[in-house]
């Protein structure tokens, strides 16, 4: 008897990281499944509460210039309880930013997964910079205790036409290191989520760095040409070949 005949759910478990057909032990889960769930939950909690090592991140981004800023949330507990403070710069950081003439600005925000930022942010920025030699790219801004909308204030102060904010996504029980990117044309405080394009699920078992870079650079080039982002900008790029193609995700979140 084949393994599939013994366990008809085996082929489904092989195609997804979702927890399906885990079995049971009495009226509870089998010990292995329970321990794996507890481990995944612990990793998700660690991702939310851990801090990004910004010194290491700046080193990983070299030779690109970096600037550091902080949101109005003074620490992690307040950041988690007050999302509004994570969307605004603190006055001291705002005073350090000076205007320029940039086509594109990368802002890296810790968000809700330090692990996602530590592992994926620098490789993605390097991959994009190599693909966009025709754009004037500003210094990479490293933002602590930051949420998506903080990128609008930063980019507006620095005179960028387009901002790509990389942020650690809220961890799930199957992926604690997922990075998201939010692209916004003409960034300024008050922009709605419908005015952004989002590329999500960037991690080792999701969207690869190279595929995410291809998508982001295509969108950035089209945004600069059409002078818009959000629900009005749809991805019409040719299909991208690669082993992760079926896992690619591009969504407009409004």
**Cα angle, residue 204 at apex, residues 198 and 207 outer, rounded to 5°:** 35
Tell me the pLDDT tens digit for each residue of 145-161.
999 999 999 999 999 99
At residue 237, the pLDDT reads: 62
- Check the annotation: does 153 bind a ligand: no
The confidence band for 238, taking pLDDT boundaries of 50, 70 and 90, is low
Do residues 249 and 212 lie in contact, with contact meaning Cβ atoms separated by under 8 Å? no
At residue 82, the pLDDT reads: 96
Residue 239 has pLDDT above 70, yes or no: no
Which is it for the CA torsion 180, 60, 151, 238, positive or negative? negative
At residue 5, the pLDDT reads: 61
Asked if residue 12 is part of any domain, the answer here is no
Asked if residue 190 is part of any domain, the answer here is yes
Asked if residue 218 is part of any domain, the answer here is yes
Which is it for the CA torsion 190, 194, 196, 202, positive or negative? positive
The answer to which of 57-66, 160-169, 184-193, 233-242 has the lowest mean pLDDT is 233-242
Asked if residue 101 is part of any domain, the answer here is yes
Q: Which domain holds residue 175?
A: 54-226
The confidence band for 81, taking pLDDT boundaries of 50, 70 and 90, is very high
> Considering the chain, what percentage of its residues have pLDDT values greater than 90?
67
Q: How many domains is the chain partitioned into structurally? A: 1
Residue 174 sits in a domain whose CATH number is: 3.40.50.11240
Asked if residue 27 is part of any domain, the answer here is no
Tell me the pLDDT tens digit for each residue of 176-214.
889 999 999 999 999 999 999 999 999 988 999 999 999
State both tokens at 157: 């102060």
Please state the pTM of the whole predicted model: 0.84
Asked if residue 18 is part of any domain, the answer here is no
Q: Mean pLDDT score of the chain, rounded to an integer?
A: 88
Asked if residue 153 is part of any domain, the answer here is yes
Residue 80 has pLDDT above 80, yes or no: yes
The confidence band for 240, taking pLDDT boundaries of 50, 70 and 90, is low
CA separation for the pair 125, 119 (Å, rounded): 12
The verdict on whether omega for the bond into residue 63 sits within 30 degrees of 0, i.e. cis, is: yes
Q: Which of 241, 240, 11, 213 is nearest to 131 (CA)?
A: 213
């Amino acid at each position: 008897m084949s393994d599939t005949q013994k366990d008809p759910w085996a082929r489904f478990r092989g195609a997804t990281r979702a927890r399906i057909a885990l079995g049971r032990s009495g009226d509870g889960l089998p010990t292995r499944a329970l321990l794996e769930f507890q481990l995944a939950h612990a990793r998700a909690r660690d991702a939310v509460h851990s801090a990004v090592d910004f010194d290491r991140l700046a080193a990983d981004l070299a030779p690109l210039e970096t600037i550091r800023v902080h949101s109005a949330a003074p620490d992690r507990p307040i950041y988690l309880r007050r999302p509004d403070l994570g969307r605004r710069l603190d006055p001291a950081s705002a005073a350090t930013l000076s205007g320029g003439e940039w086509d594109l600005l990368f802002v890296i925000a810790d968000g809700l997964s330090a692990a996602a930022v530590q592992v994926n942010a620098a490789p993605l920025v390097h991959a994009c910079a190599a693909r966009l030699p025709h754009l004037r790219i500003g210094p990479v801004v490293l933002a602590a205790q930051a949420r998506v909308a903080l990128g609008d204030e930063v980019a507006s102060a620095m005179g960028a036409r387009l901002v790509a904010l990389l942020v650690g996504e809220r961890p799930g029980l199957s992926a604690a290191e997922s990075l998201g990117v939010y692209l916004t044309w003409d960034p300024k405080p008050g922009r709605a989520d419908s005015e952004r394009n989002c590329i999500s699920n960037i991690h080792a078992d999701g969207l690869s760095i190279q595929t995410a870079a291809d998508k982001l650079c295509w969108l950035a080039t089209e945004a600069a040409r059409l002078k818009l982002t959000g629900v009005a900008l749809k991805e019409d790029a040719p299909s991208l070949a690669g082993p992760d193609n079926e896992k690619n995700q591009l969504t407009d979140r409004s």
